A and B are shown apart, each in its own frame.
Chain A
Amino acid sequence: MHTELSYAELASLMERRAGVIVDPADLELQSDTPFADFGLDSLGLLGIVGALENEHGATIPADADACRTPRELLDVVNDVLKARA
């Protein structure tokens, strides 16, 4: 089963959980750009982390919602998901 968080899934979560629409390819290309620049605030990121935990049945470290960029978040989340695989 493919469990790794992709930029496409993150883009989809940003839209569904926070109403922030971003092209997955742009998110990947600009993966070091702060979430704030995409229009995602801290509540939005908190909701995305919560949704990932619920969808994957995983516990993601509490500091994940302090990630500033898409790349940082993917690294933190995928470390958890890979460790479980």
Chain B
Amino acid sequence: MTTKPSRPDERRTVITGMGVIAPTGIGADAYWKATKEGVSALGPVTREGCGDLPLAVAGEVHGFDPAALVEERFLVQTDRFSHFAMAAADMALRDAALDAAGAGEFAVGVVTAAGSGGGEFGQRELQQLWGRGPKFVGPYQSIAWFYAASTGQISIRGGFKGPCGVVAGDEAGGLDAFAHAARSIRGGTDAMVVGATEAPLAPYSIVCQLGYPELSTVREPQQAYLPFTDRACGFVPAEGGAMFVAEEETAARERGVTARAVIAGHAATFTGSADWAASREGLAHAIRGALDEAGLAPEEVDVVFADALGVPAADRAEALALADVLGPHAARVPVTAPKTGTGRAYCGASALDIACAVLAMEHGVVPPTPNVTDVSGGLDLVTGHARQADLRTALVLSRGLLGSNSALVLRHGADARP
């Protein structure tokens, strides 16, 4: 297999650091260990005030102690989704051995994706509003629950003054944030802190999600999220996500850090809400665009991280989109959906899939799709046990509930230019 960067003189983006906060594990090592074993962390919703809601099963992050990971003022001034983001960004920055002091404060930017904002913080303040009146709402509400909060706080906390942004792009935003980061790097920024985390399990956030017909309200954790099967009954929501350091390839090499993966291609389309059949064409177009940007042929895809919504029409559309673009290779390439063990943390779900894809390529292992057996629909979905494979190219897919379709192509870190 040959490396065919479409524009060899262009500034390419590589991943040099990762931080993971998932229901299945905190830290990339713990997450990977659970993921390759096919561990499922789906369980009852245990958050205060959620007991009587129709949503019974979610992927909660347990054992996350924000007080041990972020400073007191961020605990008081920001939401759980930003605590996740700051803690995951710290892990990623440590992994990449990067900080603003070493890199130059304008050389590093931040971009996150968010779909839920600061629900837990918002819940507390809105209870004050309705329970006691507007004077009892704290001013930090104005910044804590807003989508851009994590980007801003990571930037302030780390002293990163490069380009900053937030992608409010529905679930696919976790992939789109990488496209945004790669664009900033092409434009001259050396490094971007990029990714997505979400914490949408406060009562108010859950009530907002109850309107999604795709939400699974099945009460047995092992039955609640079964994409690509005849028992598919919707998706299970979750919290968590992943943050990364994305870096210009040459800058990373000059710092002496290893490229863990190469961001090779991305494309996004929009096909509108509540029309999963239409997502076939939209997703196919995104896959084609991402492969074109990567300069790769369809048969060079070694593993697919599926969106795997768990809604029959959506699963069918995804399988057809893969067949449309990959042709006969679609039936042979291993497809996996580790998110059936974590649930879908909205933008955080696609960010977690990127982390999983990087780890899978590094270890030469396709992790299984927890809880799923008896696959229907013509894909080679990896179930039961992990599968050994030489993985050079991973395709990560994500769709938003409101119509976004995105595809991201990652290459093995060894594909970075020497």
Contacts and interface: CB of A to CB of B under 8 A. Distances in A.
Chain A bound to chain B = yes
A6 B280 CA distance: 65
Task: Give chain B's interface residue range (CB within 8 Å of chain A).
Answer: 10 to 19
B47 interface: no
A19 B142 contact: no
Interface string A42-59: 011011001001100000
Given A15-B72, A17-B76, A19-B75, A53 B135 contact: yes
Interface in A1-51: 15-21, 39, 43-44, 46-47, 50
Contacts of A43: 77, 139-140, 142-143
A37 to B, nearest CB: 14
B138 interface: yes
Interface in B23-78: 71-77
B212 interface: no
Contacts of A21: 72
B136 interface: yes
Contacts of A53: 135
Nearest to A42: B139
Given A43-B142, A43-B143, A47-B140, A19 B76 contact: yes
Contacts of B143: 43
A19 B136 contact: no
Closest 4 CB pairs of A and B: A19-B76, A19-B73, A19-B72, A43-B139
B139 A47 contact: yes
A43 B144 CA distance: 12
B139 A20 contact: no
A20 B72 CA distance: 7
A46 B138 CA distance: 8
A71 to B, nearest CB: 22
22 contacts: A16-B76, A17-B76, A17-B138, A18-B76, A18-B77, A19-B71, A19-B72, A19-B75, A19-B76, A19-B77, A20-B72, A21-B72, A43-B77, A44-B140, A47-B138, A47-B139, A47-B140, A50-B136, A50-B138, A50-B139, A53-B135, A54-B135
Nearest to A45: B139
A53 B136 CA distance: 10
Contacts of B139: 43-44, 46-47, 50
Contacts of B138: 17, 47, 50
A18 to B, nearest CB: 6
Contacts of B75: 19
